[in-house]
Structure 1
Amino acid sequence: MGKDTHALSTPAQETALRVLAANHVETWIAKEDGYTPTPLISFAILEYNEVNDDKTADGIVITPSHNPPEDGGFKYNPPNGGPADTHVTDWIQNRANELLKKRLKGVKTLSLEEAMRSCYVKEYDFVTPYVAKLPEIIDLEAIRDANLKIGVDPMGGASIEVYRKIEEMHRIGLHIVNEEIDPTFSFMTLDHDGKIRMDCSSPYAMASLIDLKEDFDLAFGNDADADRHGIVTKSEGLMNPNHYLSAAIWYLFKHRLDWKRDLKVGKTLVSSAMIDRVAQSLNREVYEVPVGFKWFSLGLFDGELGFGGEESAGASFLRKKGLVWTTDKDGIIMNLLAAEILAVRKEDPAQIYRFLEGQFGTSYYQRIDAPATPEEKAKIKKLVPEDIHTDTLGGEKIEGIFTRAPGNDAPIGGLKIITPNGWIAIRPSGTEDVYKIYAESFLSMEHLHRLIDDAAKIIADVVV
């Protein structure tokens, strides 16, 4: 069981330990009441299950991810190490609500002191095994030999101790620019809406690290549970997540020579089509799925996907030999990969992306969030191709309309329309009263705006 540095995470962990110990569930927690990032829990689950046949491990991470200080979250990872499927999380949610309605009647508990003294709660070093095996997935020797000066901002999250251990063990030139842990996250610069959010893909939240970009050859940050990454280069500043995913995929499939030739590239349907163009140039099949990293977990676990990534700055990939590393998002290896790219190619990932634009065209991409009532969200979620009463979008002929992802045929909870030089996707948010329009053009910013306008007309027709 891991936790991040949000204020609610420690009391939530204590409550969970009281229940788990009372029910005789063996639970490993970090030594000395430490913090444990999401990728380290995924890694520990997989490592344990690899060598133990008599017992199977799963995991819990107590984190609201990048969300504000007052938020809390409880995440379950099954024995494959990845995020739980919807049917599992629905079961957990429904069972929890049943128990709450009964005022927790029948729930066994111990006192915290009894739980901690029991044989069921054990302290474990999650950090050292993960850091010790990093050379199996990242070329740390190349980074070390390049004598880079690398800035790291854990954003007050659970990865601080991990980066300390990486530098102690591997000496690759990491400099942690902020080691403060404060449950109020008062040191953070405010996000676009004035809220505190540890969003390492936001130029507002990452402003303090961006200001230091000239002090380092490369800099990067993570959110509170380190499942997301944020890359800051001298040449560009904070990289757009879609741009970094494209550069990372191009680099990995060029340089991981021991990877199987049939390994696929995993992307969500709202990620940039630049990924498709890069994959095609590499003769790699794209595995396109709905939003949610859970759709990549089995492919990474089975070694069918070399890489899986989301436009929201979450990704993971296989070890150099093609074996699974983590089946949940791993912002730590994604950050270290950026340093490897710079060390090996002598170009930072932003420069790699500019090269890709020269090869495959310039992408104009935007996501728009707009308010929606629950009723409107329900209508948008049920969109079908028959709701589209035009054969053009953004002035181009429509080539495809789908409501299920082409990679795994799972429902996307909305709709995606493709044209020769662009696409739109429309879907309701799963957590907020908003709907999202994603759009991308490979023609121009004007064409992008036409795509967005046409998407808005489709929504207006549906919700009236």
Structure 2
Amino acid sequence: MPDFNVKTVPTTPFAGQKPGTSGLRKKVKVFQQPNYTENFVQATFSTVLDESNTQDIVMVVGGDGRYFMRETVQTIVRIGAANGVKKFIIGQGGIFSTPAASNVIRTRKATGGILLTASHNPGGPENDFGIKYNVSNGGPAPESVTNAIYKATTEITEYKEIQFGEIDLDTVGIRKYGETEVEIIDSAADYVSMLETIFDFDLIKAFLSKNPDFKILFDALNGVTGPYGKKIFTEKLGLPETSTIQCVPLVDFGGEHPDPNLTYAHKLVDSVNKMGVDLGAASDGDGDRNMIISKDWFVTPSDSVAVIAEYAAQAIPYFKKTGVKGLARSMPTSGAIDRVAKKLNVEMFEVPTGWKFFGNLMDAGRLSICGEESFGTGSDHIREKDGLWAIVAWLNIIAYVDLKLNLPCSIRAIMNRFYLKYGRNYFTRYDYEEIESSHAEAMYSHLESLIVSPDFVGRKFGNNAFTVSCADNFSYVDPVDSSVSKNQGLRIVFSDSSRIIFRLSGTGSSGATFRVYIEKYESNEDSLMLEAQDALKPLVDVALEISQITKFTGRTEPTVIT
């Protein structure tokens, strides 16, 4: 007979187990230290039990398939059961995309979810792992909860577990382990059913039937959305197997960096160009990011969310029903969506980077569609960004433009009409990854001192082409709960409304990432379809001059340009 007795294991705290909005991210080898993962999981459950108003804890668990995920699912169930969790809902094989998990948390009214992902960061024995807690609304835990988890990690003296032996993660169904119920579900099936309530799949199929030569190519980057993409594109829409690539989740993402941008999604970019693909799309490791590209156009994430907002209430059944309540973007994201909000006469919000800020607005009924320039797009159907949702939204819009508006429906044509109506916010981002932290901090301190200096406003750059009109360190007061978020990014705005923004990011597991965001608005009809890097080069040169990145870091080129 299996031993279902609770065992108490003595332990001591580990330094640095402080989760952010994106959870606790470290190298795999850090999580593999004896008791390291167990401590953090116990601290999470201790916090959940303290925060919960019920003892009937239901927890959604799964991850992006990366190395060490399956072992950690087993650890979570053993420790959760010992702490009195009533039920676990786990994706088959441990697989759960982040948006799919958010949906199940909401529809099954779960207490929360533990997501095992480091998002778009590399996987494998030498790379990254992460544990993230989502609360009952399906969104990332707020700072009050992550702070409580961190406090628990600093005080822990023991964790509890029940040794079940191996939990069967691969067979769909419900089984009991002692007093705890474990339900394994096909998370892709649940997710696709959700999408069918949002989008007009009949319209999309009619479009594909009318346009059999319209080429679609989806790249899961060997991440979690492979099974989801197969169900959508080949099973539901009847596209050939060749319309999907890299759709088997791999523990190391096939040695690739599962980040859907022009640099890391190079196989998709090459295939789109060689095959003449009309709609190319990629999703990241855990499925919450996306990229849209075609044989003759790359859609920036800033433009993508603006176009979705422009067509939502006309083309997408979900928004036909609910209407568009409000729009939002992260502060570094371009102002293209602001122009749509003004046209639609709805509220527009500029928030710090981090999906939890959107979630607050959604829960208050003030926000429908939002996005981040870091390839994250979503809506109030869940409380996470949702890569496949954005991809199907584009397909729905293309079908609508062709069948209902009888207009040219290529991505380039759709973007050209958008720019003619609103003007174009040229936008790019330069990422300098894994900079020595001390060098990055010295550079950032230099920038902070510079922009607050009394003579900075009014200074001219770029052969006097750009005059600083204002500069600050972005601060946000949440209109829902009045919480204040300070030091969210250094902004420089010029008199022609061009912007340069500098941020240090901590979503990786080592070093620092320095990001430079560059935006310039253009309304001249003859200058709307230029290559972004050509249009922005004078402002890029100004950004490099102001930051002095080569002087501080030795870097002469960014790691990634988007």
TM over 0.5: yes
Say if 2:368 is the partner of 1:272.
no
- The residue type paired with residue 64 of structure 1 is A
1:211 to 241, 258, 270: 270
Structure 2 partner of 1:135: 196
* Residues in 1 aligned to 2:370 and 2:492: alpha-carbon distance in whole angstroms: 22
Change (3 A) 1:36 1:458: closer
2:490 to 404, 408, 415: 415
Residue 451 of structure 1 and its aligned partner are, at CA, apart by 4.3
1:403 to 465, 474, 483: 474
Q: Write the mapping of 1:359-398 to structure 2, written as runs, cut at 5 A.
A: 359-369=421-431, 371=435, 372-373=437-438, 375-376=441-442, 379=445, 386-387=452-453, 389-392=455-458, 394=461, 395-398=466-469
The worse-fitting range, judged by mean Cα deviation, of 437-446 and 129-138 is 437-446
Structure 2 partner of 1:427: 503
The worse-fitting range, judged by mean Cα deviation, of 162-171 and 332-341 is 162-171
Asked whether the 8 Å contact 2:92–2:185 carries over to 1, the reply is: no
The worse-fitting range, judged by mean Cα deviation, of 13-22 and 351-360 is 351-360
- The residue type paired with residue 97 of structure 2 is P
Residue 97 of structure 1 and its aligned partner are, at CA, apart by 4.7
* Residues in 1 aligned to 2:548 and 2:265: alpha-carbon distance in whole angstroms: 35
- The residue type paired with residue 218 of structure 1 is L
Deviation string, structure 1 residues 194-228 (Cα, Å, up to 9, x no partner): xx310112x23222222332364423221121011
Residue 34 of structure 1 and its aligned partner are, at CA, apart by 4.2
1:440 to 509, 519, 526: 519
Residue 30 of structure 1 and its aligned partner are, at CA, apart by 3.4
* Residues in 2 aligned to 1:42 and 1:234: alpha-carbon distance in whole angstroms: 33
2:223 to 148, 154, 157: 157
Structure 1 partner of 2:174: none
Structure 2 partner of 1:108: 160
Q: Which has the larger radius of gyration?
A: 2
Residue 169 of structure 1 and its aligned partner are, at CA, apart by 5.8
* Residues in 1 aligned to 2:330 and 2:232: alpha-carbon distance in whole angstroms: 31
Residue 453 of structure 1 and its aligned partner are, at CA, apart by 4.6
Change (3 A) 1:119 1:176: farther
| Backbone CA RMSD of aligned residues | 3.1
Residue 384 of structure 1 and its aligned partner are, at CA, apart by 9.8
Say if 2:248 is the partner of 1:180.
yes
- The residue type paired with residue 146 of structure 2 is T
Structure 1 partner of 2:556: none
* Residues in 2 aligned to 1:204 and 1:58: alpha-carbon distance in whole angstroms: 35
Matched position secondary structure for 1:442: strand
Matched position secondary structure for 2:223: coil
Change (3 A) 1:158 1:405: same
1:227 to 268, 288, 301: 288
* Residues in 2 aligned to 1:149 and 1:375: alpha-carbon distance in whole angstroms: 46
Asked whether the 8 Å contact 1:244–1:349 carries over to 2, the reply is: no
Asked whether the 8 Å contact 1:384–1:415 carries over to 2, the reply is: no
Deviation string, structure 1 residues 304-326 (Cα, Å, up to 9, x no partner): 11112111111211xxxxxx411
Residue 181 of structure 1 and its aligned partner are, at CA, apart by 3.4
Change (3 A) 1:31 1:76: closer
Deviation string, structure 1 residues 318-351 (Cα, Å, up to 9, x no partner): xxxxxx4111111111111111121111324443
Asked whether the 8 Å contact 2:121–2:128 carries over to 1, the reply is: yes
TM-score (norm 2): 0.69
Identity %: 25
- The residue type paired with residue 59 of structure 1 is G
Q: Write the mapping of 1:324-343 to structure 2, written as runs, cut at 5 A.
A: 324-343=380-399
Asked whether the 8 Å contact 1:81–1:326 carries over to 2, the reply is: yes
Q: Write the mapping of 1:10-159 to structure 2, written as runs, cut at 5 A.
A: 10-30=70-90, 32-49=92-109, 56-69=110-123, 70-99=127-156, 105-113=157-165, 117-120=177-180, 121-147=182-208, 149-159=215-225
1:309 to 371, 374, 393: 371
* Residues in 2 aligned to 1:460 and 1:211: alpha-carbon distance in whole angstroms: 34
The worse-fitting range, judged by mean Cα deviation, of 283-292 and 297-306 is 297-306
Structure 1 partner of 2:33: none
Change (3 A) 1:166 1:376: same
* Residues in 2 aligned to 1:244 and 1:87: alpha-carbon distance in whole angstroms: 32
The worse-fitting range, judged by mean Cα deviation, of 387-396 and 30-39 is 387-396
Structure 1 partner of 2:211: none
Deviation string, structure 1 residues 218-252 (Cα, Å, up to 9, x no partner): 2322112101112232332x432223222222222
Change (3 A) 1:63 1:381: farther
Change (3 A) 1:410 1:388: farther
* Residues in 2 aligned to 1:417 and 1:406: alpha-carbon distance in whole angstroms: 20
1:449 to 518, 535, 540: 540
Matched position secondary structure for 1:278: helix
* Residues in 1 aligned to 2:382 and 2:491: alpha-carbon distance in whole angstroms: 29
Change (3 A) 1:428 1:400: closer
TM-score (norm 1): 0.83
Q: Write the mapping of 1:345-356 to structure 2, written as runs, cut at 5 A.
A: 345-346=401-402, 347-356=409-418
Residue 74 of structure 1 and its aligned partner are, at CA, apart by 0.7
Change (3 A) 1:279 1:400: farther
- The residue type paired with residue 435 of structure 1 is F
The worse-fitting range, judged by mean Cα deviation, of 57-66 and 353-362 is 353-362
* Residues in 1 aligned to 2:493 and 2:550: alpha-carbon distance in whole angstroms: 16
Structure 2 partner of 1:53: none
Asked whether the 8 Å contact 2:456–2:468 carries over to 1, the reply is: no
* Residues in 2 aligned to 1:430 and 1:222: alpha-carbon distance in whole angstroms: 21
Structure 1: gaps of 5 or more residues: 50-55, 100-104, 189-195, 318-323
Residue 95 of structure 1 and its aligned partner are, at CA, apart by 2.5
* Residues in 2 aligned to 1:283 and 1:172: alpha-carbon distance in whole angstroms: 39
Residue 383 of structure 1 and its aligned partner are, at CA, apart by 6.5
Deviation string, structure 1 residues 420-441 (Cα, Å, up to 9, x no partner): 3211222322344343332212
* Residues in 1 aligned to 2:516 and 2:247: alpha-carbon distance in whole angstroms: 37
* Residues in 1 aligned to 2:154 and 2:447: alpha-carbon distance in whole angstroms: 25
Matched position secondary structure for 1:73: strand
Structure 2: gaps of 5 or more residues: 1-60, 169-176, 209-213, 403-408, 523-534, 553-562
